[in-house]
Structure 1
Amino acid sequence: MTTIDFQLERDAFGRLNLTDAAGTVHHNVSPVRAFPVQAPDEGLALVNGDGKEVAWIDRLDDLPPAVAGLVREELSGREFMPEIARIIDVTSFATPCTWTVETNRGRTEFVLRGEEDIRRIGPEALLVSDTHGIHFLIRDQYALDKHSKKILDRFM
Structure 2
Amino acid sequence: MTEITFTLSRDPYGKLLMSTADGQVIEGVAPVRAFPIQSPDEGISLVRGDGKEVAWIEHVNDLPAASRALLVEELEGREFMPEISRVKSVSSFATPCTWDVATDRGDTQFVLKGEEDIRRIGAASLLIADNHGIQFLIRDMFTIDKHTRKILDRFL
Q: TM-score range by the shorter chain?
A: over 0.9
Given residue 116 of structure 2, which amino acid in structure 1 is its aligned partner? E
Classify the secondary structure of the residue corresponding to 1:143.
Answer: coil
Residue 19 of structure 2 is matched in structure 1 by 19
**1:65-104 alignment, distance < 5 Å:** 65-104=65-104
| Percent of aligned pairs sharing the same letter | 63
Structure 1 match to 2:4? 4
Mapping of 1:3-152 within 5 angstroms? 3-152=3-152
Cα displacement (A) at 1:144: 1.0
Structure 1 residue 11 displacement after superposition: 1.6
Deviation per residue, 1:79-103 (Å, 9 max, x gap): 1000000000000001110000000
- Distance (Å, rounded) in 2 between the aligned partners of 1:117 and 1:16: 33
Moved over 2 A (4+): none
TM-score normalized by the length of structure 1: 0.96
**In structure 2, what residue type is equivalent to 1:144?**
I
| Equivalent pairs, count | 156
Q: CA deviation at 1:17?
A: 0.7
CA RMSD in angstroms comes to: 1.1
Counterpart contact for 2:31–2:44, Cα < 8 Å: yes
CA distance in 2, matches of 1:20, 1:51: 18
Please report the TM-score for the alignment, with normalisation by the length of structure 2. Answer: 0.96
3-state SS in 1 of match to 2:92? coil
Question: Any stretches of 5+ residues in structure 2 without a counterpart?
Answer: none
Which amino acid is the alignment partner of residue 5 of structure 1?
T
